[in-house]
Amino acid sequence: MALFNFRRDTTPAPVSDDVEAFLQGYSIEVMPRTAEKIEDFRALLPKGTRVYVAHIEGTPIADMVATAKRIAREGFEVMPHFPARIIHDKATLADWIARYKGEANVTEALLLGGGVSTPAGDFDNSMQMIETGLFDGFKRLHVAGHPEGNKDIDKDGGDAVVMKALAWKQAFADRSDAAFAIATQFCFEAGPVIAWANKLSAAGVKMPVHIGIAGPAKLQTLIKFAIACGVGPSLRVLQKRAMDVTKLLLPYEPTDVVAELAAHKAKTPGFNIEQVHFFPLGGIKTNAQWVTDNGGAAGVPANA
């Protein structure tokens, strides 16, 4: 099975209707420091695109809120991260929520454990944050998913713990007024993702999945991020690719994995992957252009 598409010519490959449909309504992730490099998101992203604002440990909340405010002002749905393990206590969480609501009119949030092993305070997981009741009134809440596992979760009980937590979140979603979905870590292979999504459905987890896809980037860049994010089997795939010097210097594009997932969704009406969530590891502009080239909607030129 081909995992990567390394094009050596400039002739655009034909875009299938399945891929075009699959890319509609995609979301994308930014950080304050990467957002600063974009003069106007309206020139890159379709109007109303959901933009996640990733909160890396050490980033001041003022920078996060300012980024959310700027992106909302440009006409996009903003979904900031709330990483449980970097939030000290309920008062801190309440302050963050108040600032996001008051300054950026935020009504959506991604709740996750966070990429640190030792909690900074009272919270260890997203369920504890949900139980505070502070997110009551939000119109949309997303929780994290890991189709290939997660190094922090795996050491604490692995798959059984994950499935129990997802069942708890599903039960909460069933009685909540908020729309829920699972936003996943980025992946590089369609087969394991399809198997994981089907496993969720079989276990009664009905929340739609927004599958994480790494945008176009250098192979070295992908390996660096995959190691940092604890990506499992895909990391071995990338490392194997890196052994081939002729391919090491060529850019990666997610063409094949997106095409395989799109084709599966088209022929499987009940498939629970709802849309694509991009991690623009090679740059936001590069990612947005790839989506446009592959049938996704484009942004509006700044002079339009």
Nearest CA-CA partner of 274 in 194, 178, 208: 208
How does 37-64 read in b/e, with b if 16+ C-beta sit within 10 Å? ebeebbbbbbeebbbbbbbeeebeeebb
Nearest CA-CA partner of 108 in 137, 146, 75: 137
Averaged over 112-139, what is the pLDDT?
A: 94
* Burial of 277: CB neighbours in 10 Å, binned 0-12, 13-18, 19+: buried
236 CB-side CA count, 13 A = 4
Bridge partners, residue 51, by sequence: 28, 78
For 148-176, give the secondary structure using H, E and C. Answer: CCCHHHHCCCCHHHHHHHHHHHHHHHHHC
Cα 65 to Cα 32: distance, rounded to the nearest angstrom: 9
Query: Could you give the dihedral angle defined by the CA atoms of residues 50, 258, 145 and 57, in that order, rounded to the nearest 10 degrees?
Result: -60
For residue 298, give every residue at least 6 positions away whose Cβ sits within 8 Å of its Cβ, in sequence order, or none: 46, 288, 292
Which residue is listed with tokens 């989506």?
A: 291
> Alpha carbon 107 to chain centroid distance?
18
- Pairing, β 217-218 against β 251-252: antiparallel
Read off φ and ψ for residue 171, nearest 5 degrees: -60, -40
* Token representation of residue 164: 């129990």
pLDDT in tens, 200-232: 999 999 999 999 999 998 877 776 766 666 565
Is the confidence at residue 1, as pLDDT, over 50?
Answer: no
* pLDDT at residue number 148: 82
Averaged over 251-271, what is the pLDDT?
A: 93
Angle between helices 233-242 and 219-229 (to 10 degrees): 150
Q: State how far the alpha carbon of 37 is from the alpha carbons of 4, 221, 302, in Å.
A: 28, 18, 15
pLDDT in tens, 226-246: 666 656 565 665 666 566 555
**More reliable by pLDDT, 79 or 118:** 79
Is the confidence at residue 143, as pLDDT, over 60?
Answer: yes
- Domains of the chain (ranges, CATH numbers): 17-293 (3.20.20.220)
* pLDDT at residue number 9: 46
CA dihedral sign of residues 155, 147, 188, 46: negative
Is the confidence at residue 7, as pLDDT, over 80?
Answer: no
pLDDT, mean over the chain: 88
* pLDDT at residue number 245: 56
